Amino acid sequence: MSKLFTPIVLREVEIKNRVVMPPMCQYSAATDGMANDWHLAHYVSRAIGGAGLIIMEATAVEARGRITDYDLGIWHDEHIPMLRRIVDNVHRHGAKIGIQAAHAGRKATAGEVTPVAPSPIPFSPDYKTPEELTAPQIKRIVEMFREGAKRAQAAEFDLLEIHGAHGYLINEFLSPAANRRTDGYGSTPKARMRLLKEVIAAVRDVWPEGKPLSVRISAVDHIPGAVELKDTIEIVNNLKDTGVDIWHISSGGIGEEGVGSIYPGYQVPYSERIKSSTGVKTIAVGGITTCELAEEIIANKRADMVALGRELLRNPYWPLYAAKKLGYDMAWPKQYEMAKI
């Protein structure tokens, strides 16, 4: 039997297969952060297509934490009804759905406000110099993640993901490339992981015990002297017993440098090494396009789930075709059964 199409249970949530649609910003929200019919069609079509888990795009816990003016928000109760509508429709087609709670930090470009960061270091010359957060301001952002988790529960999401990757606020605190603080939120590896630890605790405090929590993390910064794989292994080992159920492993984003050579499965070794070194569950990403590669990753325990980003943009029905190719008799939507051959 195909390993890719075996269920996985995270806490009390059973996901029907190991195929994940990862968060990918659509930049299609209203300027008030409201979701709309584009998001409804986009996410529901991937549920119809057979993905086991869909994780909605980076959704800001405060207005100034948006990457752009067109990012989704979860900083206000008014965001809940449309998010709940999307969740209900995804559930109707047999998939589970999560949402990625995020704060862009120094990479925020929404509105005219000054972005915030651990230190006043701009992402690049093209970005504004951010305001260095005070300790009380950091505590307030932690509370924003807590409130965002409450709203995610009100919308009945199955999973919550904390965005700690790709050069956004939590990643900025984790990386010495962006964090030059000398207080309890910087200067040592343990201090740099303090914000993530506090956000996990705040979210887990209000997120239901039976629902899983994920963290997306950049395994390496791709910058000399910054975060390397051994550092991320230390972070995960330090935080693996804080209530995180699965780690979503990516890389890069803290600077303008690229991620190096891109080839099928190019980021999977990060997941494999973190999983084997720490014993945690992982989601692998990075150039996964074929069912053979996805199957190999799961079968060889290099990850517990696989995320297909661009491939699921190209083909919302990828899981249906992958199941057939791997010899798994996956149920098709009854409306499409005439096309199942």
Print pLDDT tens along the chain (341 aa): 899 999 999 999 999 999 999 999 999 999 999 999 999 999 999 999 999 999 999 999 999 999 999 999 999 999 999 999 999 999 999 999 999 999 999 999 998 889 999 999 999 999 999 999 999 999 999 999 999 999 999 999 999 999 999 999 999 999 999 999 999 999 999 999 999 999 999 999 999 999 999 999 999 999 998 999 999 999 999 999 999 999 999 999 999 887 888 999 999 999 999 999 999 999 999 999 999 999 999 999 999 999 999 999 999 999 999 999 999 999 999 999 999 87
Give the separation between CA 114 and CA 116, rounded to whole angstroms: 7
Residue 283, beta-bridge partner list? 248, 305
How do the domains of the chain map onto residue ranges? 8-339
Q: Are 306 and 19 in contact (CB under 8 A)?
A: yes
- What is the structure's pLDDT at 305? 99
State whether residue 21 is helix, strand or coil. Answer: strand
8-339, superfamily in CATH? Aldolase class I (3.20.20.70)
pLDDT at residue 160, rounded to an integer: 99
- What global pTM score does this model have? 0.97
Note the pLDDT of residue 328. 96
Provide DSSP, 156-219: T-SEEEEEE-TTSHHHHHH-TTT----STTSSSHHHHTHHHHHHHHHHHHHS-TTS-EEEEEES
Q: What residues are paired with 213 via a beta bridge? A: 160
Kindly report the length of the chain: 341
CB 33 within 8 A of CB 63: yes
Give the CB-side neighbour count of residue 322, counting CA atoms within 13 A: 29
Cβ–Cβ < 8 Å for 286, 266:
yes
pLDDT of residue 1: 84
Helical spans, DSSP H, in the chain: 37-48, 80-92, 135-154, 169-174, 189-192, 194-206, 229-239, 268-278, 291-299, 310-314, 318-325
Beta partners for 97? Answer: 54
55: helix, strand or coil: strand
What pLDDT was estimated at residue 256? 86
List 174's β-bridge partners, or say none: none
Specify whether the CB–CB gap between 65 and 107 falls below 8 A. Answer: no
Question: Nearest Cα to 55, choosing from 19, 95, 99?
Answer: 99
Contact criterion met (CB below 8 Å) for 52 and 97: no
164 phi and psi, to 5 degrees? Answer: -120, 25
Residue type, 325: K
pLDDT value of position 314:
97
